[in-house]
Structure 1
Amino acid sequence: MKFSFPNPMVILLGFLILAALATFLVPSGSFERELDEETGREIVVPGSFQLTEDRNVTLFDTLLSIPEGIILGSDIIVLILLIGGAFYVVEKTGALQVGIEALVYRFRNSQFILLVIFSCFFFLGGASFGMQEEIIAMVPVLVLLAKKINYDLRAIIALSLGSALVGASFSPINPFGSLLAQKIAEVDFSQGFLYRMVFLVLAFFSWTAFHLRWGKIPSVNLEKGEFAPVRISRSHGIILLLTGAGMIIMPWGIIQKDWGYNEMSALFFVIGTACGLISGLGVNGTARAYSQGFSEMIFAGVLIGLARSVYLILEKAQVIDTLIQAMFSPLEALPTAMASVGIFVTQALVHGLVPSTSGQAVLTIPLASPLMDLLTVSRQIAVLSYQYPAGLMDLVIPNNGGMMAVIAAAGVAYNEWIKYIWKSFALLLGIGLISCLLALFWFA
């Protein structure tokens, strides 16, 4: 009997069961927390860990966490449905197909330039506002592009979702990663900014070059006839301009106007509706296209919810703090360089328990910062040793609902994704670790 790799939903349900079982093996415990007025978040008080009464979850609690996780992620799920519906409407108008064909024709003799620009767009999105879930709705675009330029779909996902995650991981200005961690660690944002930028640029070129090199499918040759010039009609041009404007307005709203998921959802609902009406689909045709888009995206939304459920189980049983205390305590006795490596590895493991990068910063930086003080090195090491592995682990951990939703929507099995991505993932982890070790001298 041929082995069939589990569906993403099965994988996440498996993680949910493992999380429930872990509550019987790991004692409950918690740190004291206090409100940080500057960040508006509750942060851990170092040295305050205490064991508490065990809170093992029951079978009923485990089952209940499934709908609770989906409800907890409702704002992101609504975003996925509305943006996904909008992109589906745009696809039904035919503008997307025409736009990609025109783009491929424009760069027919220099596809690498097209892909570098493509990767740079997503990299900057990740670096500036932590783009990830927004990419789920763009999967039809990624699939079309991969077919047109004869690239492995996994490589195109790596140059979009992957670039965004790498950008978020190495960025010195990501508000949900490095900026938050620096505020909690009480270090100056400008300190080492140039140092961080050097490794940000190195990460971009290393990641992009890798997938440009290994993503091309060599066995199929595109015929010259496929590179025929494409005429973009007036209605298609307006639709593409509206869609592009939405992609520009969204990060502007996030950065300048403090937009949340609801504002982004509303923006693309308006854009999708306008595109449907401009194309001639009519009111009913646009509504039908939206409903079809919703049906395509609902599975991705469920995956997001299930990823939240795993964290919810661990949080209910109060075992996350216990696990983190057990991971960080042994590092105090290590030499400086080994402690830095230890924090790097520990933060990578912690991200498997806490899939939110901002949540991980709030939980771990207050523990890592005093450790740096004991070792008489800059707290910037604590920030770097958190932000690199935490961001990069989102490329591979199954309880990152955003990544699982993208590959599921693209029809890429999780094992096939890991098989393709692991070398470039290891490369970027290596660059991050080297940055942390060199920082011991830079910030001395």
Structure 2
Amino acid sequence: MKKFPNAFVILIAVIIFAWILTYIIPQGSYERILDEATGTTRVLNNSYQQINSESLSILDLILSIPRGLIEGAETIVLIFLIGGCFYVIEKTGALNEGLAKLVKVLDGKETLALVLVATLYTAGGVSIGMQEEVIAMIPILLLFGKSLGYNTFTIILMSYGSTVMGSSFSPSNPFAVLIAQKEAGLPLLSGSELRLVVLAVAFLVWLLFLIRYANKNRIEKIKMPTAHESMTARSKIILSLLVLTFCGVIYGILYLDWGFNEMSASFFALGIIVGLIGKLGINGTGESYVEGFKEMMFACVILGFANSISLILKEGMIMDTIVYGLFGPLKYLSPSLSAVSMMVAHAFLHFPVPSYSGQAVLTMPILVPLSDLIGLSRQICVLAFQYGGVMADMIVPTNGALMAVLALCNIPYNKWLKFAIKPTLLLLLIAAIALVVAVAIGYQ
């Protein structure tokens, strides 16, 4: 059997396929207006109409590659700087000492370690919609997980998978729930009670699946490469600064309206300080950063390529047609079936729109009036979006973060899809039941 194409080839193929679709799918557009109060562009409901626009040329296709990289600049810089920062910390020896200590403490308690890591990353997804940040931590997670006897699939599930699950079922994900509620005209954080109950159920099922799979697929433990029996004072200071930086970044995102640039600056500063504390010197710290950049290069390119796909669909004037085709038929269904179908449609839409915050801004102004028309509450409309759109990040090949993680783990996409489809469908089943219950109890 020939080797399955890697992430680079897959995304190039999808970009070309998206370009071909611009010649097949009818062009169309919704009317948009600028909301001067918020500075955001809003879509007008019932304003879709087919149009005739100039088709994208072969030059447009080629130009979409650098333009996609430019569009993802903030995210790419974040991954570069976090990756560089972690490489500097690794060079000081603090990470190896800390991980070796942790592995020693957790020896014989591997299931507890699995639960703790999954809980930590779920909390990151619930609180800040963490996803791209996982990329830079993958090399360390692989070392840690294999030291406990877990295979690569388990390591991806307990980290990236847990962030996706937490982000999807979160009552407060700022890039999904809060944006969608704002677009739907709902009070922020409203309806959290049901979301918290469903999150608890989904998290419990997720843990049970994760533990069952991990225990059935153990590998031989890999010994941690460290020469220290105990942590030095310098390493304790470095790791404490790392924890404080993470706490500061989370606080900044939740309360200070921080974006990727502020996060990047925080980790860049941490790397410089840690390098000096770790006695790498100015040159040594700079060289370590460069090595860290090299490690993250392929992942960053993959992230940029993913942006090119939605860029082509938008400029080819078929993105709105796709939205219209997916959600238009929902008005003919019963409320319960419409809610579940809306979730499924969001999952499919996430293929061409891998940014779920962008998906919320694109679809909510269209779906809110439709929901009002068919008797669905706006909260249920938001639920269908967050469950379908965000959960699709587990499997869509257009999601740059997923493809970057798989590239760093040397896992072909076809093997991941075959493995991940089962837990993804399991969680979507829980989400579908939650939507039916929400309709039955009149969730507002």
Give the TM-score taking structure 2 as reference length. Answer: 0.95
Match of 2:48 in 1: 49
> Which residues of structure 2 form unaligned runs of 5+?
none
C-alpha contact 2:351 2:396 (8 A) present in aligned 1: yes
Matched, 1:285 2:277: no
CA distance in 2: counterparts of 1:47 and 1:54, whole angstroms: 20
**For residue 70 of structure 1, what is the amino acid of its counterpart?**
L
1:267 corresponds to 2:270: no
Q: Distance in 2 between matches of 1:255 and 1:196?
A: 19
Query: Is the 2:97–2:228 contact (alpha carbons within 8 Å) kept by the matching residues of 1?
Result: no
- Aligned partners of 1:192 and 1:333: how far apart in 2? 26
Instruction: Determine if contact 2:28/2:318 at 8 Å carries over to the other structure.
Output: yes
Q: Does the CA contact (< 8 Å) of 2:22 and 2:313 recur in 1?
A: yes
Are 1:108 and 1:227, in contact at CA under 8 Å, matched by a contact in 2? no
Structure 2 match to 1:248? 247
Report the counterpart of residue 142 of structure 1 in structure 2: 141
Could you tell me how far apart the structure 2 residues matched to 1:132 and 1:171 are? 14
**Which AA in structure 1 matches 2:171?**
P
Q: Which residue of 1 aligns with 2:66?
A: 67
Structure 1 residues not aligned, in runs of 5+: none
Corresponding residue for 1:13? 12
Q: State the 1:231 CA deviation.
A: 0.3
Q: Is contact 2:151–2:218 with CA below 8 Å preserved after alignment? A: no
Matched residues in 1 for 2:68 and 2:224: separation? 50
Alignment-derived partner of residue 374 in structure 1: 373
* 1:210 aligned residue: 209
Deviation of residue 141 (structure 1)? 1.2
Give the structure 2 partner of residue 348 of structure 1.
Answer: 347
Matching residue of 1:416: 415
CA shift at 1:407, angstroms?
1.6
Amino acid at match of 1:184: E
Q: State whether residues 96 and 224 of structure 2, in contact with CA within 8 Å, keep that contact through their aligned partners in structure 1.
A: no
Q: Distance in 2 between matches of 1:63 and 1:240?
A: 44
Whether the aligned pair in 2 keeps the contact of 1:203 and 1:428 (CA below 8 Å) is: yes
Distance in 2 of aligned mates of 1:425 and 1:39: 35
Residue 216 of structure 1 deviates from its aligned partner by 3.4
Partner of 2:92: 93
Give the aligned residue type for 2:195. Answer: R
Tell me the alpha carbon deviations over residues 367-388 of structure 1, each in whole angstroms, 9 at most, x when there is no partner: 2222222222312121111110
Bigger mean CA deviation after superposition, 4-13 or 266-275: 266-275
Q: 1:161 matched to which residue of 2?
A: 160
Amino acid at match of 2:441: W
Residue identity (%): 42
Distance (whole Å) between structure 2 residues aligned to residue 250 and residue 352 of structure 1: 29
Give CA-to-partner distance per residue, 1:325-380, whole Å, 9 cap, x none. 11212111122222222211111111111111111111111222222222223121
Task: Report the alpha carbon displacement of residue 419 of structure 1 after superposing the two structures with TM.
Answer: 2.5
Give the CA RMSD over aligned residues: 2.1
CA distance, structure 1, for counterparts of residue 355 and residue 225 of structure 2: 43
Confirm or deny: 8 A CA contact 1:152 1:217 kept in the other structure.
Answer: no
AA at the equivalent of 1:140: P
Give the 3-state SS of the residue equivalent to 1:403 in structure 2.
helix
- In the TM superposition, what is the alpha-carbon distance from 1:225 to its structure 2 partner? 12
Q: Counterparts of 1:286 and 1:199 in 2: how far apart (Å)?
A: 45
**How far apart, CA to CA, are the structure 1 residues paired with 2:226 and 2:16?**
51
Distance, in Å, in 2 between the alignment partners of 1:160 and 1:218 is 17
Find the aligned partners of 1:225 and 1:374 in 2 and give their Cα distance. 60
Hey, what's the Cα distance between the residues in 2 that align with 1:155 and 1:443?
38
Decide which moves more: 65-74 or 405-414.
405-414
